[in-house]
Structure 1
Amino acid sequence: MRSGQTGDEAAVDVSGGSRRGREMPLEVQHIRDALRREFTSRISMADYEGRAGTDFDNAFLSRALAARAARILTDCSSDEAAAGVIDGRDDFGIDAVAFSASGSELWLIQAKWSDRGQAGFNTAAAHKLIHGLKKLDNRDFDQFNVRLQSLADRVRGVLGLPTCKVFLIVAVVGEGRLSEETEAILKEAAIDFGGWGRTVEHRVLNQAAFHRAVREDLAPEPITIVATMSEGWHSRETPYQAFDGLVCVEELANWYADHGERLYDRNVRRSLGLTGVNQTLVESLTDDPQGFWYRHNGITVQCNTIEQEFFAQRGPSKPVRLTLHNASVVNGAQTVTSAYRAYERTPDALGEAFVTVRIISVNGTPEGFAKEITKATNTQNHMERRDFIAIDETQSLIREDFRLTLDKEYVFKRGEIDPAPASGCSVREAATALACAYPDPILAVRVNGSTEALWEEGPGGAYTRLFGKQPNACQIWRTVLLMRAVRDALHDVRSTLSGRSASIAESGALLIAHIVFQLVGTDGIEEIDSEWESGLNEVPALVEGVLAQLIPLMDHFFGEGSYVTSTFANEQRCQQLVTGVLQALAEGTNVRDLTTFQSDIPKPRRRPSTVSLIIDHNLIPAGTRLEYQPSPTEEQAIGIWLRNGQGRSFATWVDDRRRPLLWEADGQRYSPSGLVTQIWRKADWREAWSAVQGPKQWYVPGEGSLVEIAERLWQRIITEEWSRERETTKDADS
């Protein structure tokens, strides 16, 4: 059982060794063996050093299960999955963290291992997982263990996105059935966290899902999908068989539901999750399914063979069902995934949406043909909504006004280089500033969710509201200056805050800017001879005053347990906050000082370099022989060269911080990465990578890599420091 867990929470089998072997089902044995093969050398067990037996095994298998869940869900590598495991003291119910390729989706995983396949997930476990999510949302990273702290920047980046998606993952070796009470707890969290483009979902990965993943790893089954084309499709047989026609988007959603990320095995990239563009695809499908085809370029599918089945009359362009064997979506992964996301929201609407699908059979094609098609279909230019403002005459007139009136640059076409801050601005910066200056906070909220909202046209669209009546260059420029002043002031203040207060300052930046705009006012902003800019000197004090009111009002209106980032994605809540802050400042009641929320808690100290840790603590005696262990790619490229020369794979450790490795091949000293680079150079590996990670590749026999040796020590140091701090706190309290 893991440290800090009750038997009810852990839900694992802790029976003895002999009994354990007899009672373990075959499926569980397969999963256990696969986890050991994949993660034994990858997952840190430093906090269990010196312990053995059932406790150690259960802890390792639980962590490995969490890492395997990350692999299943995000298609990351084994090393990336292992790096996301944070299970242990101060994990707040989160065993592993994973990210989508786009960095817009966050997966929080809690894993339960059971030797007998009877692991469960109860209400206490659900509350712990949600508590962990709230800790992350409040930016209380310093309260987590060092493993989570190393991922804090990535977590902060995802939660800071207005369209972020959080998945609460229950990974269990068992049936995975959740009680109604547990389901209700998780669904309530989804409602509390949700906002403009922000969602929380929960998923269960049970024993069957893990066993299926193990089987697929050993022998991946070819994917077979069905594409139904109505009248109007085209085909060709020479030189290679291909079809082109309309396919219902609902069918694409079913492809993903059945096969997930495996659909993209031959694509240059996987699904990127709900990026801004993909969010637009989802909205386009749900809002106007019939018009989706007109706005989309289509997708490309490769397969080995194509079977045709006509519904009635057989002939060209008659409705046909195509069965595609060993299929892969080589262009359009984002569209297929977005179709699935849209289907989850409104399944009935997708029956009216169609997309052009091109199917190419690679049977009989020359070598390299399939790869060439994949590359060609993924290098075409992509149009974004912002691109269409380039043909709006208003933007050309604004640029001319900037040059003539202010002698500054204004760029509005994607691909143009943004001017230096003092020399001008881009349309994106200008539109964001104008959205913050808009009298209604609704635009600031929408832009906080996604800058794509800036380019929406129509009666309620942000672009129409901001540029429908052309603002002059002086107004735009001064608006930009004010937003920059707010941004700089917030940057200074944020460094003095921590936890929930820092999260409010970070996530509420655009709303804070909106409130400051209302306080400064716009009288004379468009008149070049006015002294409006003199008011910019007051911005730092205004920002502090707004924050001092905003922080307590958040808790007063919505509770101390409310999700910070979701609050700033909710238009109604933001309107309430703006009204409350402005009223408090105008009346001068309940005047607060920002220093109340400022913290003098020291930041967690950084981990010293690997070599420094080893030398400072004498972890490797001088004269120890180390071995270079190349990756599979390196082995293929330079393996023969390494083995054909004496001492090329070996070095001796010397106590030198800069160059601790003495290479046996030439008797010279190098840094770990420097020696790897020298080996690549001497082996004439011209396609060598630009990134070198030498400390991960030099091994002490029986001890592990330099990184692993240093990390074990660092974990012990941090654990001991936490223990001392807690004992000191207990003594002070008593």
Structure 2
Amino acid sequence: MTKGVQDMPLEVQHIRSALLREFQDRISMEDFEKKDPRERETALLSRAVSAKAARMLTDCTSEEAAAGVIDGRDDFGIDCVAFSASGSELWLVQAKWKDKGTAGFDTEAALKLVHGLKKLDNRDLDHFNERLQLLADRVHGVLRLPTCKVNLVIALIGDGRLSPETHNILEEAARDFGGLGRTVEYRVLDQRDFHRAIREDLEPQPITLKAAMDREWYTREIPYKAVIGEVSADQLAHWYGGKGDEHGNDKGHGERLYDRNVRQSLGLTGVNQTMVESMLEDPEGFMYRHNGITVQCDRIEQEYYSKRAVGQPTTLTLHNASVVNGAQTVTSAFRAYERDPEAVAEAYVLVRIISLEGAPVGFGRSITKATNTQNHMERRDFIAIDTVQSEIQKDFRLSLDKEYVFRRGELDPAPESGCSVTEAATALACMHTDSSLAVRVKGSTNVLWGEGPGGAYTRLFGQQPTAQQIWRAVQVFRLVRDQLTEVRAKLTGRPAAVVDSGSLLVAHLVFQRIGRDKFDEPDDEWELVLGEVPGQVNSVLACVIATVDILFTNKSFVTSTFANEERCARLVDAVLDTLERGTGPDSPTNLQEFMDGAKKSRQRRPQTVRLLVDHDVIADGTPLLYAPSAAEEQAIGTWLDADPRRRRASWVNDRKAPLIWEADGQRYSPTGLVSRMWDVAEWKDQWSTVQGPKQWRVSGEGTLVEIAERLWRQIADAGDSGEVVSP
């Protein structure tokens, strides 16, 4: 053991050893090859901390966590990016390593992390490094969801204490980003969390849960013990993420609760968001609307408060427990508890607890499979029994000779032949004078089926619209959608983010500009109305793009702005007022300016081989060395070592086949050669995708991707300054 390691606190030594063992061969450190070994190790450990945090919070694999590490130049305060399995939740990790266990997180680091989030939300990726570029589509896929959740994670090898000023910065970011289901939360993982995690990796600790049943319950003993009863939802919340409770539950277990489940929680999906709202708005009625959960355990211990009899208040201790059905319910209980603990304490959930003590092998697995393959009802299913929908269907046939489908499972008609109730309801929501409907629908079409006072379905179909009104609304909605798709392809950055997040609000504005009376015009005049829609879209969109920055500044979160009903109402009023006053030379209604701006912005880097060949960066005959990942080395390393020529190639400046493989003298593309090597080596479990330019390196220069990235930065910087870059 070196002196530096000996000087570390014992707990930090344990963490260091575990991180190196798990990530040393998985995290790229090519940007530190020429640095001092101590500096390189510190950087590796910091990156490994961020990857370990991703593993702890998302339960991803070590390889997936390492692939999410983007730490390095141009990371904008984000060291690692991770995703939920459902794609609705995003983790942005900033990590700090200190050998003495004294890592901290100050206001400067907090501001940098928040700035990185804003750049992602604004689709401003031009200056991020290539590691983030590879994850860009997945990041935007999450951020464009109005019900997404972003987790800012501070991962520290230290005590995890933050100053009040740092807390304020993170809390302000959470408020600015949130709205209508969208949330930002921050959490700190400290040295104790990491030490506990590595101990569990070595020997995962069984989960023990406490379930207090103070209402009616019953039990059966034959053939296997099972207890069925009601458990308060706040207990479920503590199972998932609590800090201990009066029932004896320790700190929450997170996704480990679902280790035996066929799937983990899906994040804040539309259905889960509905469960959260249901638990908060009517906690006492929650149990009647939801199916409950199933828990498996190895053994059940039972204690009684007073009388020892079935139905009397009791506490169950569940040893080696796992939630095998109802992960969404448990996670939703935790989300609701974060917002209103008192309301959640009033909600109860039906819980079925099954002991596997004495059960045959495979019995538990069969229960898990059976409880996760049963059909469930959705809100939309219940409109099938509403006579209004069948009347609209008849009206479509008689008045328009078109189809209208409203039962889930029916095939949607061809666009020219009719529409579905979902498309119709979305169009009517945008047509409504209340912009909040369009905002809510952007979050989830599930809100379309809410009934009763204030429910979207009642507001849209309470007074049955005619087939002509519905069909014309759908026609306008489709034209708006198609025009936005065409325009979106010509925009980048913040304007593009406005299209992604504000499409339904733009549709709402176009409907308001048209006016309700136009939907009853004669057919020939209606065709004129439709002809004006693309121009209306362009004017409205340009005004929206400009007005967002005027009202909320160009530092505001675009996605959360369009998920906030109050902000959208202000935006609608301002845009309609601006357009009503006319389109003078100073009016922000010229969409072409934003398109021209996109053309002037930094272009996306060309494909690696093409860029290198076109600029003659690598001389013909330059030797290249194959740089396999740890998994590849394990799979085909023996085959590679059998003939050293298999790891070597030379460069030829040719776009299609720039590599000559020394093993056979044939020419390949970088990806084609790696694929060929895998096949010849008979690697049966090879991956479906290959990233060849990342796997061939020039000695002293880095991989082909890194060489191309450096060149592209020079080109971009020279373009900004007006200089000419010569090959």
TM-score using structure 2 length: 0.87
CA separation in 1, counterparts of 2:183 and 2:156? 23
Following superposition, the deviation at residue 496 of structure 1 comes to: 2.1
Following superposition, the deviation at residue 654 of structure 1 comes to: 8.1
Structure 2 SS opposite 1:525: helix
CA separation in 1, counterparts of 2:626 and 2:111? 49
Give 1:596's match in structure 2, choosing from 593, 600, 612.
593
Q: Quick check: 1:231–1:318 contact (8 Å CA) kept in 2?
A: yes
Q: Quick check: 2:608–2:708 contact (8 Å CA) kept in 1?
A: no
Are the structure 2 counterparts of residues 624 and 287 from structure 1 closer, same or farther at C-alpha, using a change threshold of 3 Å? closer
Q: What corresponds to 1:432 in structure 2?
A: 426
1:479 aligns with 2:473: yes
Q: What corresponds to 1:580 in structure 2?
A: 574
Q: Quick check: 1:47–1:715 contact (8 Å CA) kept in 2?
A: no
Deviations 1:421-472 (A, max 9, x none): 2222221111111111111211111112222211111121111111111112
Q: Quick check: 2:229–2:350 contact (8 Å CA) kept in 1?
A: yes
One-letter amino acid matched to 1:32: R
CA separation in 1, counterparts of 2:149 and 2:549? 24
Following superposition, the deviation at residue 607 of structure 1 comes to: 4.2
Deviations 1:584-625 (A, max 9, x none): 111125323223222213531354589x99x99889969999
Q: What corresponds to 1:3 in structure 2?
A: none
Q: What corresponds to 1:27 in structure 2?
A: 11
Following superposition, the deviation at residue 34 of structure 1 comes to: 1.3
Following superposition, the deviation at residue 713 of structure 1 comes to: 2.3
Give 1:91's match in structure 2, choosing from 59, 71, 75.
75
Q: What corresponds to 1:561 in structure 2?
A: 555
CA separation in 1, counterparts of 2:304 and 2:630? 60
Deviations 1:15-47 (A, max 9, x none): xx9663232111111111111111122212222
Q: Quick check: 1:107–1:168 contact (8 Å CA) kept in 2?
A: yes
Q: What corresponds to 1:469 in structure 2?
A: 463
Q: Quick check: 1:250–1:350 contact (8 Å CA) kept in 2?
A: yes
Following superposition, the deviation at residue 712 of structure 1 comes to: 2.8
Q: Quick check: 1:627–1:650 contact (8 Å CA) kept in 2?
A: no
One-letter amino acid matched to 1:159: L
Deviations 1:161-211 (A, max 9, x none): 111111111111100100011111111111111211111111001111111
Which residues in structure 2 correspond to 1:512-551 (within 5 Å)?
512-526=506-520, 529=523, 531-551=525-545
CA separation in 1, counterparts of 2:155 and 2:472? 53
Q: What corresponds to 1:101 in structure 2?
A: 85
Deviations 1:661-694 (A, max 9, x none): 9999xxxx997557767988xx9x8xx89x6346
Are the structure 2 counterparts of residues 43 and 679 from structure 1 closer, same or farther at C-alpha, using a change threshold of 3 Å? closer
Q: Quick check: 1:46–1:715 contact (8 Å CA) kept in 2?
A: no
1:374 aligns with 2:371: no
Are the structure 2 counterparts of residues 648 and 526 from structure 1 closer, same or farther at C-alpha, using a change threshold of 3 Å? farther
CA separation in 1, counterparts of 2:96 and 2:627? 41
After alignment, is 715-724 or 135-144 more displaced?
A: 715-724
Which residues in structure 2 correspond to 1:710-721 (within 5 Å)?
712-721=703-712
CA separation in 1, counterparts of 2:621 and 2:695? 12
Give 1:70's match in structure 2, choosing from 34, 54, 71.
54
One-letter amino acid matched to 1:605: R
Q: What corresponds to 2:44 in structure 1?
A: 60
RMSD over aligned Cα atoms: 3.5
Structure 2 SS opposite 1:284: helix
Which residues in structure 2 correspond to 1:491-502 (within 5 Å)?
491-502=485-496
Structure 2 SS opposite 1:286: helix
Which residues in structure 2 correspond to 1:288-299 (within 5 Å)?
288-299=282-293
Deviations 1:216-257 (A, max 9, x none): 100101110011123421211111111111111111111112
One-letter amino acid matched to 2:709: I
Q: What corresponds to 2:257 in structure 1?
A: 263
Structure 2 alignment gaps of length 5 or more: 242-251, 651-655
Q: What corresponds to 1:507 in structure 2?
A: 501
Which residues in structure 2 correspond to 1:201-600 (within 5 Å)?
201-257=185-241, 258-526=252-520, 529=523, 531-588=525-582, 589=584, 590-592=586-588, 593-598=590-595, 599-600=598-599
CA separation in 2, counterparts of 1:723 and 1:652? 30
Q: Quick check: 2:118–2:555 contact (8 Å CA) kept in 1?
A: yes
Structure 2 SS opposite 1:538: helix
CA separation in 2, counterparts of 1:23 and 1:225? 39
Following superposition, the deviation at residue 402 of structure 1 comes to: 2.1
Q: What corresponds to 1:82 in structure 2?
A: 66
Deviations 1:314-350 (A, max 9, x none): 1222222110100111111111111111111101112
CA separation in 2, counterparts of 1:179 and 1:92? 21
Give 2:688's match in structure 1, choosing from 681, 687, 692.
692
CA separation in 1, counterparts of 2:628 and 2:110? 46
Identity score, percent: 56
CA separation in 1, counterparts of 2:343 and 2:260? 30
Structure 2 SS opposite 1:98: strand
Count residues with an aligned counterpart.
693
Are the structure 2 counterparts of residues 523 and 511 from structure 1 closer, same or farther at C-alpha, using a change threshold of 3 Å? same
Which residues in structure 2 correspond to 1:601-612 (within 5 Å)?
601=601, 603-608=603-608
CA separation in 2, counterparts of 1:462 and 1:109? 38
After alignment, is 572-581 or 209-218 more displaced?
A: 572-581
CA separation in 2, counterparts of 1:693 and 1:37? 26
Are the structure 2 counterparts of residues 346 and 578 from structure 1 closer, same or farther at C-alpha, using a change threshold of 3 Å? same
Deviations 1:613-669 (A, max 9, x none): 9x998899699999996799x99xxx9xx99xxx999978889959999999xxxx9
CA separation in 1, counterparts of 2:631 and 2:554? 51
Are the structure 2 counterparts of residues 711 and 280 from structure 1 closer, same or farther at C-alpha, using a change threshold of 3 Å? farther
Q: Quick check: 1:627–1:649 contact (8 Å CA) kept in 2?
A: no
CA separation in 2, counterparts of 1:415 and 1:107? 35
After alignment, is 461-470 or 446-455 more displaced?
A: 446-455
Which residues in structure 2 correspond to 1:720-731 (within 5 Å)?
720-726=711-717, 729=720
One-letter amino acid matched to 1:126: A
After alignment, is 376-385 or 224-233 more displaced?
A: 224-233
Q: Quick check: 2:107–2:166 contact (8 Å CA) kept in 1?
A: yes
Are the structure 2 counterparts of residues 676 and 396 from structure 1 closer, same or farther at C-alpha, using a change threshold of 3 Å? farther
Are the structure 2 counterparts of residues 229 and 490 from structure 1 closer, same or farther at C-alpha, using a change threshold of 3 Å? same
Are the structure 2 counterparts of residues 649 and 724 from structure 1 closer, same or farther at C-alpha, using a change threshold of 3 Å? closer
One-letter amino acid matched to 2:290: H
Q: What corresponds to 2:246 in structure 1?
A: none
Following superposition, the deviation at residue 81 of structure 1 comes to: 1.1
One-letter amino acid matched to 2:69: V
Structure 1 SS opposite 2:176: helix
Deviations 1:352-408 (A, max 9, x none): 111111111112211211111101100111222122112212122222222333232
CA separation in 2, counterparts of 1:719 and 1:276? 43
Are the structure 2 counterparts of residues 333 and 528 from structure 1 closer, same or farther at C-alpha, using a change threshold of 3 Å? farther
Structure 1 SS opposite 2:519: coil
Following superposition, the deviation at residue 731 of structure 1 comes to: 6.9
Structure 1 alignment gaps of length 5 or more: 1-16, 697-702
Q: Quick check: 1:271–1:337 contact (8 Å CA) kept in 2?
A: yes
CA separation in 1, counterparts of 2:209 and 2:118? 40
Q: Quick check: 1:625–1:650 contact (8 Å CA) kept in 2?
A: no
Are the structure 2 counterparts of residues 477 and 616 from structure 1 closer, same or farther at C-alpha, using a change threshold of 3 Å? farther
Are the structure 2 counterparts of residues 197 and 39 from structure 1 closer, same or farther at C-alpha, using a change threshold of 3 Å? same
